[in-house]
Structure 1
């Protein structure tokens, strides 16, 4: 295992960092707390780690002051809690503290694959010499789970698909007011706005050529979120009822969604599902970053809680899957 970690770090020192669309997000890794990047899968969490690395290199860090480690690397497949000493020895051997600051930056991607990862991160943080950012699969690492595991030592950052401004930057368009100062500029922006509203801002979807490929990617994302981030993560046994509930949600995107009406729909189909179970189903989809809910405005919390919530997709492209 020590050899594998050493190889990965040596490859990092020689690796060319990818060209990126600059995300409009602050990742305050220098603040002393662990930064945890969470959000829907394929939204660009790994790219954001590379963005942090590129920023630090511009600010005077060198490659031996920081490291990006992908724990999905097959060579680290057997890495577990018993290997912490080996990991610590390897990074101490290959990395060095930034002169004048005494810090080493660790960018740990898909950290949840390491058994006992939370103890690793807490221990590294307690040493005081490491600035740490972590990402994890939404099927294994949620904001609530990170809060439990890291116990106040972290700052969460929700990574969503591209905003429209970031989407324009990907397409090579200016994002300042002069971009719409001419009829041609306004026409291009309106055309790209229609594309964004139809296909959304998931990076690979936005980059994909052709509508068939974009639609295919979105369907894959939907199915992966459903089976891995909801069914597997929450150990749902009645998958057919969950699928029916998912279709109800899809047909209600942008509208008020009533748990009571959903319960009646199941009952009319001869399926007994309590309102509590259906409320849990809704929470599962929110936890998986598939959608979010908005309460009806009101002065009293009880009144707001009793009213149907509106449901919105995490990305505009999800609308198209159901229409």
Structure 2
């Protein structure tokens, strides 16, 4: 594709950006970082990374938007050099950079030899950046763009901006009637509403199924050293995880089910985690087997099990997703018998919390190697459970 054709696509991108007048909060964070030479926007497919790049193109002087899959006949460095020298372009906005072979080397050349050129790029696979042959971490400011938090979903769905809550506020019941009012949207959120395309797509799960196919067939093979035969095994591993109970999934059971080594099972789980499909949660406590709990980013589990059958696991998936969105470190707790529980350990400035997802309180002595001082129960049906807090309140932490 010629430079003239690429410029035509850049102009079209700016026109398309006008279709999205409401901006995600991540765009505000990006604006604050624009003095940096290199910024990477990393997040799952379908969360609006392309839209944000186009919005940046519309409001950034001397910028150029381009999708990496259109760069065929010229290297990225040469393209940046031509745009800078002939048109004064100082900001490149590059979509899905992990599809460009040797992108890290091209970025390093821009960094070293075009000091006045800034680059903002997106990637749907964190692994692409982590496996860079060059040390991009010193040069690139990475910003995560995740799906809507429940609070952000309410803003886009109802046009209402609610304040963030702290974990302590949730634990002590210190929220406003406005926070309670939108609980009726929670199930819709869990079923796919967290993805921006759900605002216009009546069946978000069908879109998500297509996204998953792209992740498995294009993204992972493009950045990881896996064969297409292994891609089929990764798909089978995900199917096994999606259909199993949370407590029944670990690298050993995955390996046994697929007929592969435990080492390979760990590798596949890591790949799916770095592609934003799975969430691995480490255990808290002493004398416990350091085996992660494997959860699924909502609502991918619903591609494998019905809502009624999966709801218990989906609640845990939601909590893990919400904690990641709030950038809050958390661990799961094991019982004294070694069983994985739906209880999670979090640390705040005011002290530690144990948060139980779902059922009634189980007391303070069930955990292996952990002494519990403060505990809250987050329940889907909080009204019917004494002292329980609404689970959706965790969605207001981000």
Larger helix proportion of the pair: 1
- Pick the aligned partner of 1:171 from 145, 150, 157: 157
Distance in 1 separating the partners of 2:107 and 2:180: 48
Mapped to 2, the partners of 1:322 and 1:229 lie a distance apart of: 21
SS at match of 2:207: helix
Alpha-carbon distance between aligned partners in 1 of 2:20 and 2:148, rounded to the nearest angstrom: 16
User: What residue ranges of structure 2 are gaps of 5+ in the alignment?
Assistant: 164-174, 306-398
Shift of 1:250: 0.9
Secondary structure of 2:152's aligned partner: helix
Measured after TM superposition, the shift of residue 109 of structure 1 is: 1.6
Q: TM-score, normalised by structure 2?
A: 0.62
Alignment-derived partner of residue 259 in structure 1 = 251
Q: What is aligned with 1:39?
A: 43
Higher relative contact order (CA 8 A, sep 6+): 1
Q: What is the CA-CA distance between 1:208 and the residue it aligns to? A: 0.8
Task: Identify, as 1 or 2, the structure richer in strand.
Answer: 2
- Aligned to 2:145, which of 140, 149, 159? 159
1:223 to 213, 220, 224: 213
Q: 1:207–1:180: structure 2 CA closer, same or farther, 3 Å change rule?
A: farther
Partner of residue 364, structure 2: none
1:207 correspondence with 2:200: yes
Q: Distance in 1 between the 2:227 and 2:3 partners? A: 35
Shift of 1:239: 5.1
- When the two structures are aligned, how many residues end up with a matched partner? 287
Write the distance in 2 (CA, Å) between the matches of 1:226 and 1:7: 31
Q: Residue 68 of structure 2 contacts residue 97 of structure 2 at CA under 8 Å; is this kept in 1?
A: yes
Q: TM-score, normalised by structure 1?
A: 0.74
Q: Say which of 91, 95, 102 aligns to 2:88.
A: 95
Q: Which whole-Å CA distance do the structure 1 matches of 2:88 and 2:12 have between them?
A: 13
1:246 aligns with 2:228: no
**Which of 300, 309, 321 matches 1:318?**
300
| Distance in 2 between residues matched to 1:24 and 1:108, nearest whole Å | 20
Shift of 1:236: 4.6
Structure 1: runs of 5 or more not aligned: 97-103
Residue 80 (structure 1) aligned with residue 36 (structure 2): no
Q: Deviation at 1:113?
A: 4.2
Decide whether aligned partners of structure 1 residues 48 and 3 sit closer, same or farther in structure 2, where only a CA change above 3 A counts. closer
SS in structure 2 at match of 1:175: coil
